[in-house]
Amino acid sequence: MNLSLLEKITALWSNEIGSLKLINEGVNFVYRFEINGKGKILKLTCQANRNYKELNSAVDYQRYLFENKAPIDQPIKSLQHRYIEEINYKSEIFFARVSEEILGQILQFENDDKNIYKNWGIALAKLHKTAKFYQPNKQFKFLNWKEIWNEVYGYVQLEESKIKNEYSLITDWFNHLECDENNFGLNHGDHRIGNVIYNDKNVYLIDFDEPVYHWFIADISRPFLELCEFPVFTWRKKLLWYLEGYRSILPIEIKQFNQIPWFIRMKNLELYLWTKNNWYHPIAPGGERTDQWLNNRKKMILNPFFSDWFIF
């Protein structure tokens, strides 16, 4: 989008803006700008990628979490008192949203500070604890894991037998997994390290585009998908610190953490097939070359790791 249009969009939130800068380009176009010297984050989403009802539901969930003290970024209403503004650009419709900027650094697994990992687990547990009390109005709609998994089934039909078999194994395992109010609820949905920010060891979670009803373990396990290519002994202690923090807020039974590999296998297969069928940019959302990223994901599908890596 050209600068003049972007300035018109940000002017929907304030007449005193500055420092407009593109910071990410993927499913969303993400910009940073300032209002009276304070950072804001603008997200533009094409209607072809996500419709208004989905985004409006996600914003309501985000608003509820923030208002109930979960450690997340705050959505901001426009001058017209709307959280979402509709933008027409080159025969396409975009939806604009703005949140307060969270100052700090994106979490990197190279960091070796135990307190950061513990506080990260605490932050996620606080989000899940707050989410348990969220009662959305009927106008809001959130996907559940079965709907997403049924979509994956459509992609699987075009794949080789080993990938079909992986889908069947995962499906059978999840169909026998116990589900109750203590371990299941509305998740963040895209809880990866790029959406985790720490500041003086306080940790915040951002980017609430994809909330989904799932087991809480799905959120807990998602960031560690990126580490599966590395020997487990190089990062296991960081996982344990993170889980220690989580359990200090929500005392999930330790045996449930042995389920983590299955959730990683599910997410890996989902991401691989969605990206293969829907992503046409040479660079994947995480910054890696798309072909290399897909190749790494496929290797893990064909050679899944074993659950005894995660016995606690």
**pLDDT tens-place string over residues 43-94:** 999 999 999 999 999 999 999 999 999 999 999 999 999 999 999 998 999 9
For residues 90 and 51, state if they share a domain. yes
- The lowest-confidence range among 34-38, 206-210, 281-285 is 281-285
For residues 170 and 63, state if they share a domain. no
Q: State yes or no: pLDDT of 1 exceeds 90.
A: no
For residues 219 and 93, state if they share a domain. no
Please tell me the distance from the alpha carbon of residue 287 to that of residue 23, in angstroms, as a whole number. 12
Q: How confident is the model at residue 307 (pLDDT cuts 50, 70, 90)?
A: low
CATH of the domain at 118: 3.90.1200.10
Quote the number of domains for the chain: 2
Strand segments, DSSP code E, in 132-252 are 143-144, 184-187, 196-199, 202-205, 212-215
What the block records as the tokens of 263 is 């959730």
Task: Give the pLDDT of residue 308.
Answer: 55
Task: Give the pLDDT of residue 180.
Answer: 86
Long-range pairs, 30-35, Cβ under 8 A, ≥24: 31/6, 32/101
CATH of the domain at 64: 3.30.200.20
Task: Give the pLDDT of residue 306.
Answer: 61
For residues 208 and 154, state if they share a domain. yes
Question: Which one of 66, 83, 100 terminates a domain?
Answer: 100
For residues 38 and 174, state if they share a domain. no
Residue 109 is part of which domain span? Answer: 105-310
For residues 163 and 17, state if they share a domain. no
For residues 120 and 241, state if they share a domain. yes
Question: Which one of 100, 123, 148 terminates a domain?
Answer: 100
Task: Give the pLDDT of residue 122.
Answer: 98
Q: State yes or no: pLDDT of 309 exceeds 80.
A: no
Within 13 A of 238's CA, how many CA atoms are on the CB side?
19
What the block records as the tokens of 57 is 């539901």
For residues 61 and 131, state if they share a domain. no
Question: Which one of 56, 77, 100 terminates a domain?
Answer: 100
- The lowest-confidence range among 76-90, 100-114, 209-223, 247-261 is 247-261
- Mean pLDDT of the 289-298 span: 93
Task: Give the pLDDT of residue 69.
Answer: 97
Q: State yes or no: pLDDT of 226 exceeds 90.
A: no
* pLDDT tens readout for residues 4-14: 899 999 999 99
Could you give the percent of the chain with pLDDT greater than 70?
A: 97
**Any idea which residue has 């017209």 for tokens?**
80
* pLDDT tens readout for residues 119-140: 999 999 999 999 999 999 999 9
Question: Closest Cα to residue 225, out of 168, 171, 151, 299?
Answer: 299
Question: Can you give the pTM of this predicted structure?
Answer: 0.94
What the block records as the tokens of 15 is 């007449």
In what order do the strands lie in the sheet containing 202-205? Answer: 105-106, 196-199, 202-205
Task: Give the pLDDT of residue 17.
Answer: 77
For residues 31 and 114, state if they share a domain. no
Q: State yes or no: pLDDT of 265 exceeds 90.
A: yes
For residues 118 and 220, state if they share a domain. yes
Q: State yes or no: pLDDT of 220 exceeds 70.
A: yes
For residues 182 and 132, state if they share a domain. yes
